[in-house]
Amino acid sequence: MAQGSYVEPTFERDTNYINDRITQDGADGWPVEPGRYRLVAARACPWASRAIMVRRLLGLEDAISLGLCGPTHDSDSWTFDLDDGGLDPVLRIPRLKDAYDKRFPGYPRGITVPAIVDVPTGGVVTNDFAQMTMDFATEWTDFQREGAPDLWPVALRDEMAPVMKRIYTEVNNGVYRCGFAGTQETYDAAYDRLFTALDWLEERLAGQRYLMGEHLTCADVRLFTTLVRFDPVYHGHFKCNRQKLDEFPVLWAYARDLFQTPGFGDTVDFEQIKQHYYEVHRDVNPTGIVPLGPDLTNWSDPHDRESLGGSPFGEGTPPGEIAPAERVPEAANPALGPDGQLRR
């Protein structure tokens, strides 16, 4: 998760990332090479969840391995407390900070997920979450699965860019602006900005199935990671409470449509999401108590978005079954079966 400054009066996100890229030509010294890199993520984090989803949608599991941190962390680093012995089984480190320090001793900025680590050296390559998924879509094409969707289509890029920018500034970041506002005035302004953007999305999606029309793109992935956390976390924890997601007729149906699409809902761990926000953000929730609600079984309700036409993967196909080691536990997501797949 990208780091921010939670001090009065307004929330400001630190966006100074390690911006090296892994590309086909290796211009930054990091050539595309299957098996060389490890994506370190956390299912609790919306920015990291984006990378997990895109990797699965494109079928890059065999090319880029996945290391998962636990849902909570201290002020210093994300940790591999989900793994035996508290060590990542590939990198053999207990804390993600170790990979940052390996390349940049005494790394002075926040230790964030997602991060890509160079397995041979053990050093971090990049933590630029936005560019990372774009490169999965465009630089790793030789290793994508057959039938992988085009998530960053050339013909739509000029139109997509301002849509994705508004989603990032007003929605993805907007909920944090509400949650970490330091004064009533800044909270009020943040609240108005957020719901103005959600109303815009409600209108935009009323007549088309996806943000850019008939097929899934990176824009939908970016929006989904906030929408899926809205009712379990942001509505209460971050005081984004004009209405719940399930009180937006269009956005709620759109979110369920995505959730029920392979590659989206089958990567969501509601248990870890709630644990992270309510246990880590002690400035917002001093007791660390994690609420038992809300009831999340409604994510499986019919959405009827098929009536708008279009298809999620265009001329492509859905991703296949999730490998056992990467399955979300059934107890953490009521829409999943014991095999980690979405119930039908």
Residue with tokens 């993600």: 96
- pTM of this prediction? 0.95
Q: pLDDT tens digits, residue range 20-67?
A: 999 999 999 999 999 999 999 999 999 999 999 999 999 999 999 999
Is 234 annotated as catalytic?
no
State the average pLDDT over residues 8-20: 76
Catalytic residue among 45, 69, 218, 240: 45
Can you read off the two tokens belonging to residue 21? 């890229």
Catalytic residue among 37, 176, 234, 277: 176
Is 176 annotated as catalytic?
yes
The answer to whether 149 touches 316, Cβ cutoff 8 Å, is: yes
Mean pLDDT of the chain: 95
Q: What domains can be seen in the chain, in order of their start residue?
A: 4-143 (3.40.30.10), 156-332 (1.20.1050.10)
State the average pLDDT over residues 291-317: 96
